[in-house]
Amino acid sequence: MTALALIDYGAGNLHSVHNALRKAGADHAVITADPEVVTRADRIVLPGVGAFRACRDALVAIPGMVEAMNEAVHKRGVPFLGVCVGMQLLADAGEEFGCHEGLGWIAGTVRLIEPSAPAIKVPHMGWNDVMLRGTPPLLHAGEAYFLHSYHFEAADQADVAAVTDHGGPLVAAVARDTIIGCQFHPEKSQGYGLSFLSRFLDWRP
C-alpha cells in the first residue's frame, strides 16, 4: 500500500507541496496521476493553485481519478487533505470564470472575495491569523501564508474548521469526517505549515 498519494493533475504547487511533505516526515509520498495508486493509498493530498475551472477540468480529465478518490475517501475512510484550490474543489461549485461543478464533498460555493473597504486588497496575500472554530482536527491557532482571490462559503458552519480575517472572516480551513482542506499554503507557511502537515501524516480519524 502506498503511504501517501499526492495527486498530479498539473497543479502548479505540486513539487513544493511534495518537498514540504517530505520535510514533515512523509518518507513514502508518491506523486501520481494513476487512479490505481490513489485507490490503494492510505492517505491522499490534492494540491492546487490557479483557477477553479482549470483545476477541476484537469482533475476530471484523468480517467477514473475522481472515482478513485471517492472510493478511497468515502468508502475506505482514507484521510484526505486539499490545499488551496485543492480545498476549494471540495465545494459544490466555484464561480470563477462562470459557475462550475466541484466535487461536492463539503457543501458550499467558492466565490470572489468582495472587499468591505478600499483598503482591503484582492487577492488576499501574505501572512494572516488562523483562528479556530470549535476544536477541529489537526489545526492549531497561528499564522499561515495565504494567496487567493476566491474563498469558500460553506453552507454549514459546522464544516468550517478555521477562519482568517481579511476585512471580515474568510474560511481558512474546512473539515468533515476524514476530510480536511486548508485555504492557506502549508508549503509556504514555514514552521506552522510543516507542523500541520506532520499532524496530517499522523492523523488517525
Report the catalytic residues.
84, 185, 187
Phi, psi of 91, deg, nearest 5: -70, 170
Q: Crossing angle of helices 190-202/14-23, nearest 10°?
A: 70
**How many distinct helices (H) and strands (E) make up the chain?**
6, 13
Q: Please write down the HEC assignment for all residues of 165-179.
A: ECCCEEEEEEEECCE
Q: Taking a C-beta distance cutoff of 8 angstroms, is the pair 176, 159 a contact?
A: yes
Q: How are strands ordered across the β-sheet holding 150-154?
A: 100-101, 93-94, 108-112, 150-154
Per the DSSP assignment, residues forming a β-bridge with 111 are: 151
Q: Which three cell numbers stand for residue 156?
A: 454549514
How many other C-beta atoms lie within 10 A of the C-beta of residue 97? 10
